C-alpha cells in the first residue's frame, strides 16, 4: 500500500501538476515534500493523490492538487514573506504555504478542523493558527505580504485589500459557480490596486459570504 501511494504521489506531480503548467521548482518541491495522504480521512487514502476535491468533514472539502499547485505558482510566495491564509481546512494547503513562506497565519471558522490541522502540523514552527469567521476580513496587527483565500468570494471584501502591504498581493477566486476566476489583487500604492485574472476554476464558496439567492416574483 505504501509503495502504491508513493507512486501515486509521484504521478500526481508528474502526470497532473506539471502538465497543467505548474513548473515553478519551489512549488513542485513543496508538493513533493508534503504527504497529502496524511491529511485525508482513512476512507479516502486511496484517492489522496487523485486530481479531485476530497471531503474533510463538516461539509468541507480539500482542493484538488492541480488547483493548489496553480494557486501557489500564481501567488509566488517568497521565503521572507508573511502570509495570511483564509480557510485552514485539512491543513494540507497550510503546510504547502509554510514550505514557501517565512510565516503563515491561518484562520478557520470550524474549530474542529483547526484543531485537527494543529495536531497534524505541530512540528512546523512557522504557522500560527486562529479560529474565527474571516468571511469579511480579519483583524491583523500589521499589514501582510500575501493573502490566500481557499474558498470563493462573490466580491472580495475591501478589508482584505486594506490588509495588504503596498507591493503585497492577494489570491482570491471570485464569482458564482459555474463562472469563477482566480484573481491576483496587487496593492500598487496606498490607495491603488490592480487585479489580474490568472485562470478559470470552480471551488466552494466562503462560508458566510455565499451568493445571496435571487429574489423572484
97 pLDDT exceeds 60? yes
pLDDT confidence tier of residue 21, bands split at 50, 70 and 90: very high
Write down the mean pLDDT value for the chain.
94
At residue 210, the pLDDT reads 77
Q: Which helix (H) or strand (E) holds 20?
A: none
76: region left, alpha or beta (phi > 0 left; psi from -120 to 50 alpha): left
216 pLDDT exceeds 60? no
Task: Round to whole Å and give the CA distance between 141 and 99.
Answer: 23
**Looking at residues 149-177, what average pLDDT do you find?**
96
212 pLDDT exceeds 90? no
Q: Which helix (H) or strand (E) holds 185?
A: strand 179-189
DSSP E strands, 34-178: 54-57, 60-62, 82-86, 103-108, 127-131, 144-149, 164-176
* Signed CA dihedral, 82, 184, 92, 96: sign only: negative
Q: 2-200: which CATH architecture? A: 3-Layer(aba) Sandwich (3.40)
Domains of the chain, by residue range, sit at: 2-200
At residue 85, the pLDDT reads 97
pLDDT confidence tier of residue 164, bands split at 50, 70 and 90: very high
For the chain, the residue count is: 217
The x, y and z cell numbers of residue 162, run together, are 486594506
pLDDT confidence tier of residue 213, bands split at 50, 70 and 90: low
**Looking at residues 186-206, what average pLDDT do you find?**
97
Burial of residue 61 (CB within 10 Å: 0-12, 13-18, 19+) is: middle
Amino acid at each position: 500500500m505504501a509503495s502504491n501511494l508513493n507512486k501515486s504521489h509521484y504521478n500526481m506531480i508528474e502526470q497532473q501538476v506539471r502538465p497543467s503548467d505548474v513548473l515553478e521548482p519551489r512549488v513542485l518541491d513543496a508538493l513533493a515534500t508534503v504527504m497529502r495522504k496524511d491529511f485525508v480521512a482513512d476512507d479516502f487514502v486511496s484517492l489522496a493523490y487523485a486530481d479531485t476535491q476530497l471531503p474533510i468533514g463538516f461539509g468541507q472539502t480539500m482542493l484538488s492538487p492541480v488547483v493548489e499547485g496553480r494557486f501557489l505558482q500564481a501567488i509566488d510566495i517568497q521565503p521572507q514573506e508573511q502570509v495570511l491564509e483564509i480557510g485552514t481546512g485539512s491543513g494540507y494547503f497550510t503546510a504547502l504555504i509554510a514550505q514557501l513562506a517565512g510565516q503563515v497565519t491561518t484562520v478557520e471558522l470550524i474549530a474542529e478542523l483547526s484543531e485537527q490541522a494543529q495536531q497534524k502540523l505541530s512540528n512546523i514552527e512557522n504557522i500560527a493558527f486562529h479560529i474565527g469567521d474571516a468571511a469579511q476580513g480579519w483583524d491583523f496587527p500589521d499589514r501582510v505580504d500575501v493573502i490566500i483565500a481557499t474558498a470563493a468570494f462573490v466580491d472580495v471584501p475591501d478589508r482584505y485589500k486594506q490588509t495588504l502591504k503596498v507591493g503585497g498581493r492577494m489570491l482570491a477566486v471570485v464569482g458564482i459557480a459555474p463562472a469563477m476566476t482566480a484573481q491576483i489583487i496587487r496593492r500598487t500604492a496606498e490607495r491603488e490596486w490592480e487585479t489580474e485574472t490568472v485562470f478559470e476554476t470552480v471551488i466552494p464558496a466562503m462560508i458566510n459570504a455565499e451568493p445571496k439567492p435571487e429574489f423572484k416574483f
